[in-house]
Structure 1
């Protein structure tokens, strides 16, 4: 399919012209711009262009939703028309950082660390879902699991479970690789650091509370506990920052001829000692305090906690702050064996899709009807940006309807203590990553986000005139 060059020119004009583009790249569905001045964007003109499915600003980037496949062709035409050099996502991120305040920078840093490892975590969640189906009691047979009725499948399920658990068993290794890379160090050293924190010679963190005696090292009279940090997030994050800064410091001061012999060994030794003596114990305690605080809130007032988090998740996506909760999810999974936050995320995705689907019946413009349907399907499969930014936020009552439905569903599943052993794909397939014993409650939550946003959007939409 050829691209209408006039429409591409119109996109360039609507975002303020080529002089307003500091850097540009694209992902699977969206153009990503680091703009000199976002105030120069004419959003009304931009969203009137047929190629454009929506637009929004987040983390200092202005993003234009185009669609899978087409976005690559549009991007190449923009590069040709503007003369802007093709940039990587990292180039655009760096160019857009000047538009961020300190809080946004901190949130962006967490996003830059966790987003690259998300495919491994989501894959683990899907595989755990398959394992749940095979090993969960009462799904196919009363009081028995599938592998109990058919023992020949037991080893098959065991291998799936091993593959699924790998990402969580060695989670510090994944985080170490991504975090050290983000902080400017060598990713390979980050992997070694992360794996060092879960070395089999250390007492497993999951057995720490039940251990009768914790082994220690004696360092010149100082007793240091030989404890691993399986499933922990904060220790490896801070240790990665320290490692990267030490490595950068040494590389600037050690001659090239001696760097291979000195930089990595000194960096790992210093970071390792500091991690086991100070960083690990301190951040382990902080992580447990955070976990206890979050769990405590939902134990004392589960309905209120679910109502707030279920309702606020979609607005958090707009600001980019939702990335910070990925670390909390992983901390909960590592410390308690499951997270009650992620199930609400899956329901929030469905709620946004349902509101967009309702808009398809309300709108008269064929382009917007088509956008509403396709974005609803996308949201039902876990990708909400087209529905949120292309449809629901454009008609605020649709977004509010989705938020209300998500809040009510969040309150219900929190009251029922619905948990997921991992993070999976959001939307309708999300039930696969929920503990099987919580499926009935989760399906009721799904019913809420399929009915409430649709009904509310239809009622509020009927009260308005000239929606298109």
Structure 2
């Protein structure tokens, strides 16, 4: 562990442009996070020569300096003590950084702020569904039979695991409603209400909508002669996002115009009633149609030209991570899972993450600088477990060619998975343990893709790195 001296911390501050250039600063588990007034004042070369620093990069409007787990908090405390900069929360830094974002970046940030808080529940559900797949999938342990078909006394346990795992997806609109309304400035408890309202058991289940439409049996409300479809929005993303925005903004408006003495009696009932009417009459049907159109487009690509779909998504996913736009695809994954029972995109994401880890591993053997070697080793482990930012920004993009090698490897793996129609019924850990969240019948193809993502980027990086060194 590098010694934390006052001089080293001062050097970090000076390298990011001095304390006058720092609008706000915080830290996460491994990195210092700065919202800077002018990123052009950063001396990246000088910064990364400091012993404490293992890498640096700019992402989502924040300049992030990789320090390392168990030491970054001490560096941050010393920086606050030396500079007199006030402590800031992650939200403070995000909000400060957002001021310099364009409309598209702010939109993606909004989606990120909504979906990141609910990811632990979704990933946990995905892992538990993987455990259920092990017990119920045919051909895993016994030929043409599942584990519970042979060991019937395990059936009850498998069913209980399935209930626990499916809960987060069954009540997904409630989770999104809570997070979205909170993000938009409203009462998150009302967000839970609007989300659960959209999956009320008295409504026609969204999964039964297609059959009911074909049989002309969709129930309706008669609102003074105007008929409104009485359907739910199980597993849907867009309807609850838009309704949550309306609810939050309406609540804020009402609080400004209703006296404090009667707010408790009037604000929530009026906000929920109006939002509910607007949701069932307009927002739900319109966004439901948009969501199905997006789903249909992606399904058409992966059904008709799967190699193209796998090549593009596999080769471009890491580029989306650089811009932060990968967060927007969480909503698409949820939509695909709810509409078709599985997503083509998430398994390819796993390949991209593994490929980034593989080139970082190659750089650990190639690098002569001990800081780069150490960062490459630790970031390899993180990438193989689904967290690629340290590997990408700390190592791969710094040397450029490893990043390109990772794109090539993940594109090839993406083609293999797409042509093999590999799908995931849930989102899990986006790394090597990701196979648990894949349909068991696709494990063989998934493991072939994983082998490609592990080997091809590593070999390409190692060979190209050796050749580049010899030329130098």
Tell me if TM exceeds 0.5: yes
State how 1:59-98 maps to structure 2 within 5 Å.
59-98=60-99
The equivalent of 1:429 in structure 2 is 433
The gaps in structure 1 that reach 5 residues or longer are: none
Q: For residues 94 and 356 of structure 1, what CA distance do their matches in structure 2 show?
A: 32
- Secondary structure of 1:346 counterpart: helix
Shift, 1:228, TM fit: 0.5
What's the offset of the Cα at 1:466? 8.4
Q: Find out whether 1:444 has 2:448 as its counterpart.
A: yes
| Alignment of 1:161 onto 2:162 | yes
CA-CA distance at 1:363 after TM superposition: 1.3
Kept after mapping to 2: 8 A contact 1:412/1:445: yes
Question: How far, CA to CA, are the matches of 1:423 and 1:126 in structure 2?
Answer: 8
SS in 2 for 1:393: helix
User: Quick one: distance in 1 between partners of 2:137 and 2:7?
Assistant: 56
Map 1:34-433; keep pairs closer than 5 Å: 34-211=35-212, 212=215, 213-433=217-437
TM superposition shift of 1:465: 2.8
1:86 CA displacement: 1.3
Q: In the alignment, is the contact (CA less than 8 A) between 1:363 and 1:467 conserved in 2?
A: no
Between 1:202-211 and 1:233-242, the stretch displaced more is 202-211
Say whether the 8 Å CA contact 1:380–1:428 is kept in structure 2.
yes
Deviation string 1:303-337 (CA, Å, 9 cap, x unpaired) is 01100100100111010010011110000001111
Return the alpha-carbon distance in structure 2 between the equivalents of residues 122 and 336 of structure 1: 19
1:346-393 CA-to-partner distances (Å, cap 9, x unmatched) read 111110000011111111222221221111111111111111111111
Q: Secondary structure, in 3 states, of the residue corresponding to 1:422?
A: coil
Q: Deviations over 1:124-179 (max 9, x none)?
A: 11111111111111001001111111111111111111111111100000110111
Instruction: Tell me if structure 1 keeps the 8 A contact 2:54–2:371.
Output: no
Find the aligned partners of 1:37 and 1:427 in 2 and give their Cα distance: 35
Residue-by-residue CA offset, 1:87-121 (whole Å, 9 max, x unaligned): 11111111111110111111111111111111111
TM-score (norm 2): 0.97
In the aligned structure 1, how far is the partner of 2:365 from the partner of 2:19?
A: 38
Q: CA deviation at 1:227?
A: 0.4
Provide the TM-score with structure 1 as the length reference.
0.98
C-alpha distance in structure 2 between counterparts of 1:59 and 1:380, whole Å: 23
Question: Superposition RMSD on alpha carbons, in Å?
Answer: 1.3
Q: Deviations over 1:4-43 (max 9, x none)?
A: 3222111111111111111111122221111111111111
Gap runs ≥5 in structure 2: none
Give the conservation status (yes or no) of the 8 Å contact 1:53–1:386: no
CA distance in 2: counterparts of 1:348 and 1:203, whole angstroms: 39
Contact kept? 2:363, 2:462, Cα under 8 Å: yes
Q: State the SS of the aligned residue for 1:115.
A: helix
Supply the distance in 1 between the matched residues of 2:149 and 2:306 (Cα, whole angstroms): 34
Report the 3-state secondary structure (helix = DSSP H, G, I; strand = E; otherwise coil) of the residue aligned with 2:58: strand
CA distance in 1 between partners of 2:415 and 2:245 (Å): 37
| Contact 2:118 2:176 survives alignment (8 Å) | yes
Q: Distance in 1 between matches of 2:308 and 2:106?
A: 30
Please give the secondary structure, in 1, of the residue aligned with 2:387: coil
Deviation of 1:3 after TM superposition, in Å, equals 2.5
**Aligned residue pairs, count:** 468
Aligned residue for 2:210, secondary structure, equals coil
Q: Which portions of structure 1, spanning 4 or more consecutive aligned residues, are displaced by more than 6 angstroms?
A: none
Cα pair 2:17 2:41 within 8 Å, conserved: yes
**Residues 467/111 of structure 1: CA separation in 2 closer, same or farther (3 Å cut):** farther
How far apart are the structure 1 equivalents of 2:161 and 2:408?
Answer: 38
**For residue 464 of structure 2, what is the aligned residue in structure 1?**
460
